Structure 1
Amino acid sequence: MTHCTSPAKDIPVKRLALPGSLGAVAVLILLLAGLTAWRRTEPVDLTGWRAERLAAFQVWQAEGAAREIWDHPDAPVLVTVPAGSFLQGSPETEAERFPGEAIQRPATIRHPFALGKYTVTRGEYARFVEDSGYRSQTICRGYTGETELLPRWHFSWRRPGFDQTNAHPAVCVSWYDAKAYVDWLSRRTGHAYRLPTEAEWEYAARAGTATARWWGEDPAAGCGAANGADLTAKDRFTDWEVAACRDGALFTAPVGSYRPNGFGLYDMLGNVWQWVEDCAADASAGSEEAGRNCPRRTMRGGSWHSHPRYVRSAVRRVDGAESGYAAYGFRVVREP
């Protein structure tokens, strides 16, 4: 894993025997390192967020909601996904299929499971960090004025390079960060939380459909259903290939901004890539293989940054488990 720069106050500056201007440069570097570290760990004010969550949780407890589970005000709302069978992967006839995509095969989800209604939000992730004291080691890639994607020491889930509220999806989150979150959530609620497997994710994303996207084949028909690269993004990133519609979001959109799929799940495609449990070495290995040491992990769903070809139910993305990006997020599963 890559490690954050240590705060300047932890480094014994007075012991550095550097002459003249070189010493001044060293001190400046240390001060900048300290500022960078502070910006990566500065607290997020959750006072209003926690009050709103508690009020919403109390209303939810009183009124209830069909097929929904909400264990704690700090936890994500879940939707119960029924058991069933589906064809996992893309058929050879799918127009935008990549040559290396998994061959389509039947898969069965034998038991219902509870999946996050939304991806984990910035507010939910901030509450985890506040309560647990978790210190991420992730260096995030993103944009800062230019159109090229670059790693930046000062980018983090707090400051991904664009404005967010606590209702936006958490980004700049590595697979290790997501695992730390579900472990904390399990302790916080007393229920067993984890990341979804690839099979669970794709089954939930398709929601009974067999088309490239749960709303159909045409990416341009999905601007009311998903936040992907579209004409809104092309206004800023002029060299991008985009869907011929406008979803209204340049970067991330607040979770639940677009219509849900047939299972009542929001943003299963678009907004942020979603880490899943599986090791990238074997997409069919499932949770047993995922529990072993594996340096590269899988994501699903595409993002605000994604070419329309990637915003499909069958598409996989692979990256290092320690990697962060301004379009990487996740959602959770709760065991029965």
Structure 2
Amino acid sequence: MKLNKLIIPLFLSVNSAVIYANQNASELIEPIMVTIPAGSFQMGNTEDEDAQPIHKVTLTEFSLGKYEVTVREFRQFVEETDYEMPTKCIHQLNGWFNYGETNGSWENNSLNTSDFQPVNCTGWLAANAYTQCLAKKTGRPYRLPSEAEWEYAARAGTTSKYYFGDDLEQALVCEYENTADLTGENILQRDSSTSYVNFFNGKSNCVDHAAYASIVGMYKPNPFGLHDIVSNVVEFITDCYKDNYKNAHNNGQAWIDNDCKYRVARGGSWHWNTFPVSQRGVVGEDFVGAVEGFRIALDGAAPAIPSNTVKFIKALKTAQRSEQLRRDAVLPYPATVTNLKLDKEAGIITLKWDKSSQSDIESYRIYRNAATGGVFKLLAANIIETTFKDANIDNHQYEYTVVAVRHNQQGDYSNVVKTPTSWVHAPG
């Protein structure tokens, strides 16, 4: 089962009604909107059953948030309305996400560190309430986007797997999106002894400089001017989820029924490698997790930017500039170790590899898993030589890989070597 299609209903009790402080002009920050031109596209794909049949959709002009809604924007909504937010969220890393509720909220969880990251731990209900409040305060009918609007805007006139091409080597994505990359791999191994390798759809072969959610707008936009549309956090959609496109609207309207327990989710997050723009996700209305967020939609052209949003833009630019300076100061990651070889003799594994050509490499780390396809765990660190012996083995078929280390940053994994398969004697 595709992980982004796992349905994890928690059925948290969340108020669905918003208590508005007043009916006057709102002090809420209005989102920075981008006008999406009218047009048509072929929606769906031939790889996923729930994305069929492929059908033509024609949309009128609409607007979409340039960025995902941030913690700072959402804070004003909560403070003004006293909306009852969830106090538990799936957000702790424990051999990957612990699929149980843990203490944490939209403003206090271990994965958010900036007011300018996309807000998470809200759930679909609170995200929708935010749009309703914003609409009522401004007089503009802000809402969550429909599924067709999202895919059309994410494609931005392209027909490739992603708006920046098919990227078969997964080497280009880090210029455009925050995804599972070498930065995240470093942090996951350091903090949680977990790995993107052999996890779901793996990791990209590049560096995006964000281990978790990124401050919005740090990567190149798509041709429509939208940032982080494919991957930063998964985005909530208005549509109720159904498992195919039969009888789907051809005008871009959301598909809604009277018993809507599950909603469509679109895009990926820092937690997974990149999903194609046509791939669908699904989430329970009551599910509250740390890799889901949202952006805002609006009929017609983008409105003029109000003064309170101008202030937000200035603060965001300051945060983006500081974050870019931090990223620019990060040294390049060490080159990948090459030519790893394995020899087994007298119950001892000997590993050998080529010495790094980079003169400032400080040491090497050895990773091992106890089964093909398992998660690599750190076996040894601070290895100075280019050889290592492992006598702590049994009849498992182990896999090994080696990384070079410099300034506590490790490069990508070397080629993988494995021990020979052992004979297993069955009784009789």
For the Cα contact (< 8 Å) 2:44–2:54, is it kept in 1? yes
Do 1:143 and 1:150's aligned partners in 2 also have CA atoms closer than 8 Å? no
Residue from 208, 214, 227 that aligns with 1:266: 227
Larger Rg computed on CA atoms: 2
SS of equivalent residue, structure 1 residue 281: coil
Structure that is richer in helix per residue: 1
State the match for 2:181 in structure 1.
230
Please give the secondary structure, in 2, of the residue aligned with 1:220: coil
Does residue 243 of structure 1 match 2:204? Answer: yes
- C-alpha contact (below 8 Å) 2:148/2:253 kept by paired residues: no
Q: Does 1:80 align with 2:30?
A: no
Q: RMSD in angstroms over aligned alpha carbons?
A: 2.1
Q: How does 1:250-289 map to 2 (within 5 A)?
A: 250-281=211-242, 284=248, 287=253, 289=255
- 1:81 is matched by which residue type in structure 2? I
Partner amino acid for 2:75? A
Match of 1:143 in 2: 92
Q: TM-score, normalised by structure 1?
A: 0.73
Query: In structure 2, what residue type is equivalent to 1:312?
Result: P
Do the aligned residues in 1 keep the contact of 2:127 with 2:294 (CA within 8 Å)? yes
State the percentage of identical aligned residues: 35
| Inter-partner Cα distance in structure 2 for 1:174 and 1:136 | 9
Does structure 2 retain, via aligned residues, the 8 Å contact 1:138–1:322? no
**For 1:151-170, what aligned pairs fall within 5 Å after superposition?**
151-170=100-119
How far residue 166 of structure 1 moved from its aligned partner, in angstroms, is: 1.1
The residue type paired with residue 106 of structure 2 is W
- Tell me, yes or no, if structure 1 residue 322 matches structure 2 residue 286: yes
User: CA 1:84–1:224 in structure 2 vs 1: closer, same or farther (change >3 Å)?
Assistant: same
Answer whether contact 2:146 2:254 (CA < 8 A) is retained. no
CA distance in 2, matches of 1:300, 1:265: 15
User: Does the 8 Å contact 1:139/1:323 carry over to 2?
Assistant: no
Partner of 1:209: 158
- Does structure 1 retain, via aligned residues, the 8 Å contact 2:265–2:282? yes
When normalised by structure 2's length, the TM-score is: 0.58
Are residues 143 and 320 of structure 1, via their aligned partners in 2, closer, same or farther at CA, if it must alter by over 3 Å? Answer: same
Match of 2:13 in 1: 3
The correspondence for 2:259, drawn from 289, 293, 298, is 293
CA deviation after TM superposition for structure 1 residue 231, in Å:
1.6
CA distance in 2, matches of 1:76, 1:293: 30
CA separation of 1:253 and 1:213: change in aligned 2, threshold 3 A? same
1:151 Cα deviation after fit: 2.8
Q: Detail structure 1 runs of 4+ shifted over 6 Å in the superposition.
A: none
Distance 1:172 1:305 in 2: 15
- Structure 2 unaligned regions, length at least 5: 1-10, 15-25, 189-193, 301-428
Shift of 1:292: 3.2
What is the number of equivalent residue pairs in this alignment? Answer: 262
CA distance in 1, matches of 2:146, 2:104: 28
**What is the letter of the counterpart of residue 179 of structure 2?**
G
Shift of 1:153: 3.5
Tell me how far 1:324 sits from its aligned partner: 1.3
